[in-house]
Amino acid sequence: METQLLIKIVHMSSVALAMLIFVLRATTLFVGTVNQQPNPKGRVAFVALQHLSYTVLVLTGVVLLVMKDFQVQPWFYAKIILFLVLLSTQIKAYKRDESITLQQRHAGVGIGALVFLAILVLVMIKPTF
């Protein structure tokens, strides 16, 4: 199997894992919350899997960039910015801070879901700017 294809498969598999963990971790904000904080059950596993999926996603993305000699389409930069926004919403939604209300956490996860969807749409349609 071609190396680039194998790396793309791993990259997309990590995207699928990231989406699954995004949804599973979001449920902790709706079920069993304690004092404006997410449900603590499974927190360590969700955080570990989310870090793993995002790390593999970034590493395989960088490898694919190197294999393409950093020649990318303009929509790629929008994808990177949206990915950083996604990371930011996740950090703020699950931050251990009593001053952040549950409604703010819900809004953060909602924005994160929209950003995740926007990234997927961007990758699928590959617009020309």
pTM (global) more than 0.85? yes
Contacts with 129 (C-beta within 8 Å, 6 or more apart), sequence order: 74, 75
**Sequence ranges of the domains in the chain:** 3-125
Q: Give the phi and the psi of residue 14 in degrees, each rounded to 5.
A: -70, -30
Alpha carbon distance 51, 94 (integer Å):
13
In contact, 82 and 122? CB cutoff 8 Å? yes
Residues in a beta bridge with 37? 34
Residue 38: predicted pLDDT: 86
% of the chain residues with pLDDT over 90: 75
> How far apart are the C-alpha atoms of 49 and 75, rounded to whole Å?
28
| pLDDT per residue as tens digits for the range 43-70 | 889 999 999 999 999 999 999 999 999 9
pLDDT reported for residue 42: 82
Q: Which residue has the higher pLDDT, 128 or 16?
A: 16
pLDDT beyond 90 at 41: no
Q: Which residue has the tokens 């929509």?
A: 75
Share of the chain above pLDDT 70, in %: 99
50 or 128: which leads in pLDDT: 50
22 touches 95 (CB < 8 A) = no
Q: Which token pair is 21?
A: 């963990």
pLDDT in tens, 58-106: 999 999 999 999 999 989 999 999 999 999 999 999 998 888 899 999 9
Distance CA(48)–CA(39), nearest Å, equals: 16
